[in-house]
């Protein structure tokens, strides 16, 4: 039995984890490990923290932590389940299946595990076996059935089939927020960005407090913008970047697309669309400022980029009617 101090540290780590403060969770767990090196829950939560990392090498360390947890506590079905998910992430299907079947043995009432077993069978091409597992999750034919099937196909990267099943789920339950969100992810994966944005808007309308819907929407606008730039449609690309930045001001435009806003401004100037040119340049300035701060670029590079934008801005301002120029000057003064 772990000491009171270690149990308190584990509880603090859980709270930090649930608040997405993974660095602090790791600090608490490291302290708990120093105090008592044989507490299975410490290894379990260390593994959970590792799975949140974006680096595959870090994620792989979770396998060792979950393994240590089940060695210390052989009936720790949650650790088998989490280790199975990591194995599945790395496409180690046999090891994942073994862990998931261990979960079934230890806790057959935990239905989520059957969805993962079904996913393995889909990847093997055993659709009938996958359906047998899925039928253990919920009865066939209702919206929950199609939603779970959609999740399985999404995880198996069968995106079009996932879309079909999420659509069936939404036909039965138009308030199923997660189905809109996951269908958006499937649409995004196959390059159907318009449909992805529409689904994210639907999800955000139903649950406006959920920030991830807006963040993902901004990211999809950026993907649309990059595609438009690659196709040579600079003005449309700039408009889409601006739509994304309006939703999430902190998004970074990749350096190779950074000058799209300035090129769009030049095109607007040619067409005497001075107000539109100013809009493009205002966002270009924001992008450069953010990049200079976040990436700590050399002063000379930042100064040169800002000078280029300022030169275009002066040209655009000259084209404005006198009244609009005065208003622009006043706005600039108060903005500072």
The residue with tokens 């920030």 is 211
pLDDT at 230: 95
Q: What is the 3-state secondary structure (H, E, C) of 234-282?
A: HHHHHHHHHHHHHHCCCCCCCHHHCCHHHHHHHHHHHCCCHHHHHHHHH
- Asked if 114 contacts 136 with a C-beta cutoff of 8 angstroms, the reply is yes
pLDDT at 327: 56
Task: Quote the pTM value.
Answer: 0.60
pLDDT at 326: 52
pLDDT at 138: 62
Same fold, 1-92 and 111-207: yes
* CATH 1.25.40.10, applies to 1-92: yes
Q: Which CATH number fits domain 111-207: 3.40.50.300, 3.30.1780.10, 1.10.10.60, 1.25.40.10?
A: 1.25.40.10
Report the chain (336 residues): mean pLDDT per 10 consecutive residues. Answer: 90 93 94 95 96 90 97 97 95 96 95 87 83 73 80 85 94 94 96 96 93 92 94 95 89 87 93 90 87 81 88 84 56 51
Who contacts 129 (Cβ-Cβ below 8 Å, separation ≥6)? 118, 121
From the number of C-beta atoms within 10 Å of its C-beta (0-12, 13-18, 19+), residue 66 rates as buried
- Domain positions in the chain: 1-92, 111-207
End-to-end CA distance of the chain: give it in Å, rounded.
60
Tokens of 65: 């932590």
């Amino acid at each position: 039995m772990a000491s009171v101090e270690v149990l308190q540290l584990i509880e603090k780590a859980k709270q930090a984890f649930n608040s997405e403060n993974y660095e602090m969770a790791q600090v608490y767990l490291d302290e708990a490990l120093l105090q008592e090196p044989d507490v299975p829950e410490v290894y379990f939560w260390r593994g959970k923290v590792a799975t949140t990392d974006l680096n595959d090498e870090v994620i792989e360390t979770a396998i060792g932590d979950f393994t240590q947890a089940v060695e210390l506590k052989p009936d720790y079905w949650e650790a088998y389940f989490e280790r199975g998910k990591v194995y599945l992430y790395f496409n180690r299907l046999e090891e994942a299946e073994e862990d998931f079947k261990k979960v079934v043995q230890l806790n057959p009432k935990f239905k989520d595990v059957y969805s993962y077993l079904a996913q393995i069978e889909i990847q093997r091409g055993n659709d009938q076996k996958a359906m047998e597992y899925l039928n253990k999750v919920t009865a066939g034919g209702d919206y929950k059935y199609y939603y779970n099937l959609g999740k399985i196909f999404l995880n198996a990267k069968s995106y079009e089939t996932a879309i079909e099943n999420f659509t069936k789920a939404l036909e039965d339950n138009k308030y199923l927020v997660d189905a809109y969100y996951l269908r958006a992810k499937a649409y995004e994966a196959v390059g159907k960005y318009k449909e992805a944005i529409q689904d994210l808007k639907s999800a955000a309308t139903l649950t406006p407090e959920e920030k991830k819907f807006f963040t993902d929407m901004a990211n999809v606008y950026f993907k649309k913008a990059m595609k438009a730039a690659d196709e040579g449609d600079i003005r449309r690309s700039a408009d889409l970047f601006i739509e994304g930045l309006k939703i999430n001001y902190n998004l970074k435009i990749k350096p190779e697309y950074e000058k799209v806003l300035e090129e769009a401004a030049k095109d607007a100037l040619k067409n005497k669309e001075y107000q539109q040119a100013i809009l493009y340049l205002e966002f270009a300035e924001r992008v450069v400022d953010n990049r200079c701060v976040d990436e700590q670029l050399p002063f000379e590079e930042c100064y040169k980029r800002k000078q280029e934008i300022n030169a275009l801005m002066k040209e655009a301002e000259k084209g404005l009617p006198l009244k609009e120029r005065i208003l622009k000057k006043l706005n600039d003064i108060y903005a500072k």
